[in-house]
Chain A
Amino acid sequence: MATTATPPPAPKVNRIGLPVLDYRGGKTTLCAGCGHNAISERIIDSLYEMGIQPERVMKLSGIGCSSKSPAYFLSRAHSFNSVHGRMPSVATGALLANKTMMGLGVSGDGDTASIGMGQFVHLMRRNLPMIYIIEDNGVYGLTKGQFSATADLGSKLKTGVINDLPAIDTCALAIQLGATFVGRSFSGDKKQLSAMLKAAIAHKGTVMLDVISPCVTFNDHEGSTKSYKYMQEHEEAIAEVGFVPHFEDISVDYDAGSTFDVRMHDGSHLRLHKLHENYNPTDRVQAVKALMEAHEKGEVLTGVFYIDPEKPTFTELLNMVDDPLATLPQERTRPSKQVLDEIMNRLK
């Protein structure tokens, strides 16, 4: 209870009795300092803090440095590192087979906004119940630093090449396409990213998080708009994000005048401490407007831009039986001999 005088000591295990070690993965093979590693750490923290059973998670990814990262967290969850740009379809199939699982997708900006754009668009549109994270560095890390489609106009490669095409804003796109939880954060922003991930876990539809994640090897220098330095100078949070899981006491540090509380479907709350006047994360039009305005000003807006906790998810729309399709017994998947006879008789 919030009235307890002394805060409890940091727990060694989480609410389902697992230590944080059980949320770790293999040793990373990404470059030291790569933003992707920091994101893996936040994923570990948030799954641990939310008390998610690792065996209930399916990790899914495409191809790229970013897409490798599921190997570096949550070893106790099944993982599927698929082909370049096609994680959305694999995730869709997997979640249709077993809709009781939590889907956690990791992609890159190349994996999503270039080769994978087609599947990305349709995943958002279907509101597939999963978390889709873009580890966004503005380059193709794994193929050694070519521009991706999220690189900002005018940004410069290490080689001096300047990008002369406009960036695709995956957040604006996701909002327009029908994703129901859309946010942007920065791999270096521990507090914001953790809060966002925890809220994402509580959301029932498609969560699309674009996490700016500097590539220290190919894209962390003067002239890059996805470098640590640039982000520290230009990041502007639309709102400070706090997340209160439904199993925690809600009455902490509550200041009604400056917060916007979004009730998630599982009863937990996403709390936005408003920095901007009238920012309402349930208004799609305003969300897209805010993104475009920030862009005009050369700012990188972060925060949760849009939430719709109610819209039916793809698996709800399909009206499937409650049990996973994957493990239905034969009695429920093979109609009887009478049915075949009936069909045969009609064809005579």
Chain B
Amino acid sequence: MATTNASAPSAQGESAAGSTTRPVVNDFSIQVATVNGSGSQSANAVLLKSIFGMGIPVSGKNLFPSNIAGLPTWYTIRASKHGYVARKKDIDILVAMNPETAKDDILSLRAGSVAIYEEGLNLQQYREDVICYPVPFDKLTAQVCPEAKLRKLVRNMIYVGVVAKLTQMDMAVVEAAVRRQFAKKQKAADLNWGAVQAGYDYTTQSLTKHDPFVLERMHATEGKIIIDGNAAAALGAMFAGVTVVTWYPITPSSSVVEQLIDYLKKYRVEQDGKASFAVVQAEDELAAVGMVLGAGWAGARSMTATSGPGISLMAEFAGLGYFSELPGVIFDVQRVGPSTGLPTRTMQGDLLSIAYLSHGDTKHVMLLPGSVKECFEFGGAAFDLAEQLQTPIFVLSDLDLGMNNWMSEPFDYPETPIQRGKVLTAEDLKRLGGFGRYKDVDGDGIPYRTLPGTDHPKAAYFTRGSGHNEQALYTERPDDYQNLMERLNRKFDTARTMVPAPVVVQNGKSKIGIIAFGTSDFAVTESRDQMKKEYGLEVDYLRLRAWPFTPEVLDFVASHERVYVVEQNRDAQMLSLLKLDLPAEETVRLRSVRHFNGLPIDARSVTDEIVLQEGI
């Protein structure tokens, strides 16, 4: 089975699992193995929200197939009193609901883990070193759910009851989570709560707890929210005042726009019933990005959301956007490539292709959110940057961040007013007597523009992807072209001063550092603690949040002997970008840690690789 990449017991067993009775409190992972389309999402959400409701830091990851129904799916929940939310390499409690994968599932467990399964599967025959809790799911389901066609769904709630009892969950919190999950459907809530209770009662009466995994109330989640990165990005866009949204459905980005549509319908329809936005499901990604740039040109705050295959299609337009200086926001929720790849698995694999997307000397500003909060914040900032810099802005999230639920501090209302960049009005033109569309008046490489409809005879200009001079007239003159390209470079340098700076954690003594970005942050944060605890190794950390790089990056690299660039792709794409940007004598310090099996990177993989390369 594919979701844990270790089967051999690890030397540094992270949760002191085993047949010992010393309890392991608030520090373990649960994996539910089901088939997709079986309706286990509600049950998994209840488990997640119950742990959250008990004040314990928790994260959930859905590992699903690219298929509509009937293929294996795993949902992993990690409770961590330390607040670690990265994927945990090992599973502590397995709920094996899928007979097809059950044998593999139990074989992949470490000794001392727990397995809960339908008793008919007899999984105990495969592992003597795993604590087994067979449960007569079918029988219990039939008792609580007389209606045969609902049984498939209700069956899942029974494992919630079993896990709740075994881990000593607060049942009042569980009931609240169930009732909230089915808030609008009283009958469904009752039925599902009945199933949870049946699982709970069965466990109380018929099973004896042998495992050490328990939950205890904490107060670490108070005031926090749970949200997925795509919803967060959608909120960021709405509060940034997005007006034109185009898309072509593709996993894992579809839910950015789907959720945005819900929000817009609720909060951006005016009193007369008219919308202060337009959403278009385009015929393909070429059209989606063409509409974004057309809208940006005419003055809208426009965006689209896509994933790798869509990015590839957008290449020609991306170059047009760069060269003729058109604002627009493109969210890329990255998935595993190349080609169709693994559509439902995660990767940080589009960096290089986006950085230089399109032919000729083209380059694009990329924002790299590392949390749902940053999906919200960068989702908003991208629109300001697009209009201020007059260029397409790419926001690179990934499937792990976009489609999974994460805990977060609530989002802050944007403090600064919406920034619309250098736009000249008819009054400005009256005063100035005219303007040069591509003239660098301010020395920052950013020219002034006008919007179609500006009521002044000198407002118009001709936008083209062919050679143009400062007056936007066609030219093939060598100096015109070279001046334009150099100005675009100046503009890119201006972007360096406007994009989010990296987050740097350093103690001034460490000789080694880590550079990472996006969802690798969760694993790196935990790995740094592991390295300190287990090897006494203190490692500084710089988390990149944008490209082009800001000066902090050079400072960080130059002040360490070795810097490990941690990323989730095969070709060390971020390392390549760093090598292109940094002075050659500094790049010798860079090392690479890569993770690219489609699963989110975990802390142990980072630690093991760095320890290996350090020769410890």
Total number of A residues with any Cβ neighbor in B under 8 Å: 60
Cβ of A76 under 8 Å from chain B: yes
Check B300 against A93 for contact (C-beta < 8 Å).
yes
Chain A minimum-CB-distance residue to B294: A93
Report the stretch among A143-151, A211-219, A262-270, A314-322 that lies at the interface: A314-322
Chain B residues with CB under 8 A of A319: 273-275
**For the side of the interface on B, what is the size category?**
35 or more
Partner of B290, one of A22, A93, A98, A315: A93
The stretch from A82-90, A156-164, A193-201, A246-254 touching chain B is A82-90
Q: Is A327 an interface residue (CB 8 A)?
A: yes
Chain A residues positioned under 8 Å from B289 (CB to CB): 89
Is B463 a contact partner of A93 (Cβ separation < 8 A)? no
Q: How far is the CA of A90 from the CA of B289 in the complex (A)?
A: 8
**A residues near B246, Cβ cutoff 8 Å:** 93
Q: Is A77 part of the contact surface with B, judged by Cβ < 8 Å?
A: yes
Q: Which of A2-10, A298-306, A328-336 lies at the interface with chain B?
A: A328-336
The minimal Cβ–Cβ distance linking A311 to chain B, given in whole angstroms, is 18
Q: Is B299 a contact partner of A340 (Cβ separation < 8 A)? A: no
Q: Which residues of A contact B275 (CB under 8 A)?
A: 318-321
* Known pairs A76-B460, A81-B465, A348-B225; A97 contacts B239 (CB<8 A): no
Residues of B within 8 A of A333 (CB): 241-243, 268, 276, 301, 418
- Decide: B273 and A79 in contact? CB cutoff 8 A: no
**Min distance, Cβ B465 to any Cβ of chain A, angstroms:** 6
Question: Is A324 located at the chain interface by the 8 A CB criterion?
Answer: yes
Chain B residues near A232 (CB-CB < 8 A): none
The residues in B between 293 and 323 inclusive whose CB is less than 8 angstroms from any CB of A are: 293-302, 316-317, 320
User: Residue-by-residue, is A80-115 near B (CB-CB < 8 Å gives 1, otherwise 0)?
Assistant: 111100101111111111101100000000000000
Output the residue of B295, B316, B456, B459 with the most chain A CB within 10 A: B295
The CA of A93 and the CA of B456, in the complex, are separated in Å by 23
Pick the contact of B276: A76, A96, A325 (CB < 8 A).
A325
Q: Please measure, in the bound complex, the distance between the C-alpha atom of A89 and the C-alpha atom of B296, giving whole angstroms.
A: 12
Give A343 to B264 CA distance when docked, in angstroms. 13
Are B241 and A89 neighbours in the complex by a CB distance under 8 Å?
A: no
Other-chain contact of A97, B235, B299, B474 (Cβ < 8 Å): B299
On whether A340 and B411 interact (CB within 8 A), knowing A322-B274, A332-B270, A333-B268, the answer reads yes
Chain B residues, Cβ within 8 Å of A325 = 243-244, 276-278, 295, 300
Interface centre among A56, A89, A320, A322 (most CB of B within 10 A): A89
Is the CB of A189 closer than 8 A to any CB of chain B?
no
CB-based contact B463/A80 at 8 Å:
yes
Q: CB of B224 within 8 A of chain A?
A: yes
Asked if B238 is an interface residue, CB under 8 A from chain A, the answer is yes
Q: Which of A101, A315, A322, A333 has the most CB of B within 10 A?
A: A333
**Beta-carbon contact of A81 and B244 below 8 Å:** no
> Could you give, for residues 60-80 of chain A, a 1 whenever the CB lies within 8 Å of some chain B CB and a 0 otherwise?
100000000011000111111
User: How many Å lie between the Cα of A249 and that of B473 in the bound state?
Assistant: 42
CA distance A319 to B462 in the complex (A): 30
Contact A80 B474 (CB under 8 A): no
Report the Cα distance A81→B473, complex, angstroms: 12
- Is chain A's interface secondary structure helix, strand, loop, or mixed overall? helix
Chain A residues lying within 8 Å of B235, measured Cβ to Cβ, are 340, 343
- What's the minimum C-beta distance from B288 to chain A, rounded to whole angstroms? 8
Chain B residues within an 8 Å CB radius of A256 = none
A-B contact count (CB 8 A): 221
Q: Which of A70, A79, A97, A315 has the most CB of B within 10 A?
A: A97
B105 to chain A, nearest CB (A): 32
Q: Does A75 contact B460, Cβ atoms closer than 8 Å?
A: yes
Chain A residues 231-254 with CB under 8 Å of chain B are none
Minimum CB distance partner of B264 in chain A? A335
A86 to B285, CA, bound (A): 11
Give A92 to B272 CA distance when docked, in angstroms.
Answer: 24
Nearest-neighbor residue (CB-CB) of A26 within chain B = B473
Given A96-B244, A97-B300, A119-B283, A80 and B294 touching (CB < 8 A)? yes
Interface residue stretch chosen among B70-78, B211-219, B446-454, B563-571: B446-454
CB–CB A89/B287 < 8 A: yes
Contact string, B218-237, partner A, CB cutoff 8 A, digits 1/0? 00000111110000000100
Of all chain B residues, which has the CB nearest A334?
A: B241
- The minimal Cβ–Cβ distance linking A146 to chain B, given in whole angstroms, is 20
What is the CA–CA distance of A91 and B301 in the complex, to the nearest angstrom? 16
Give A121 to B287 CA distance when docked, in angstroms. 12
- A344 at interface (Cβ–Cβ under 8 A)? yes
Contact A97 to B295, CB < 8 A, known contacts A55-B460, A325-B300, A335-B267: yes
With A93-B302, A101-B452, A322-B274 known to touch, is A83 a contact of B317 (CB < 8 Å)?
Answer: yes
Asked whether, in the complex, the Cβ of B244 is within 8 Å of the Cβ of A340, the reply is no
A93 to B280, CA, bound (A): 9
CA distance A193 to B246 in the complex (A): 35
**Cβ–Cβ < 8 Å partners of A97 in chain B:** 243-244, 294-300, 302
Decide if B291 is an interface residue (CB 8 Å cutoff).
Answer: yes
Residues of A within 8 A of B268 (CB): 333, 335
A344 near B274 with CB under 8 A, answer: no
Are the C-beta atoms of B223 and A92 separated by less than 8 Å? no
* Given known A-B contacts A90-B291, A93-B298, A94-B298, A119 and B286 have beta carbons under 8 A apart: yes
A347: Cβ under 8 A from any B Cβ: yes
Known contacts A319-B274, A332-B270; A122 and B283 CB within 8 A of each other? yes
B282 A89 Cβ-Cβ under 8 A: yes
What is the bound-complex CA distance between A341 and B287, given in angstroms?
35
The verdict on A39 contacting chain B, using a C-beta distance below 8 Å, is: no
Verify if A275 is at the interface (C-beta below 8 Å from B).
Answer: no
List, sorted by A's number, 23 A–B pairs whose CB atoms are closer than 8 Å: A54-B457, A55-B457, A60-B294, A75-B460, A81-B463, A81-B465, A90-B290, A90-B291, A93-B293, A93-B297, A94-B294, A94-B298, A96-B291, A97-B243, A98-B452, A98-B453, A119-B287, A325-B278, A330-B417, A333-B268, A335-B267, A348-B224, A348-B225
Besides A97-B297, A320-B276, A344-B225, 17 new A-B residue pairs in contact (Cβ under 8 A), listed by A number: A55-B453, A76-B460, A80-B463, A82-B320, A89-B286, A89-B294, A93-B295, A96-B280, A100-B453, A119-B286, A315-B278, A318-B278, A320-B277, A321-B276, A335-B267, A340-B235, A344-B411
Which 10 A-B pairs have CB atoms at the shortest separation, nearest pair first?
A89-B290, A93-B294, A326-B299, A333-B241, A93-B295, A97-B300, A90-B294, A93-B291, A97-B298, A347-B225
Interface residues of A (CB under 8 A from B): 22, 26, 54-56, 58, 60, 70-71, 75-83, 86, 88-98, 100-101, 118-119, 121-122, 315, 318-322, 324-328, 330, 332-335, 337, 339-341, 343-344, 347-348
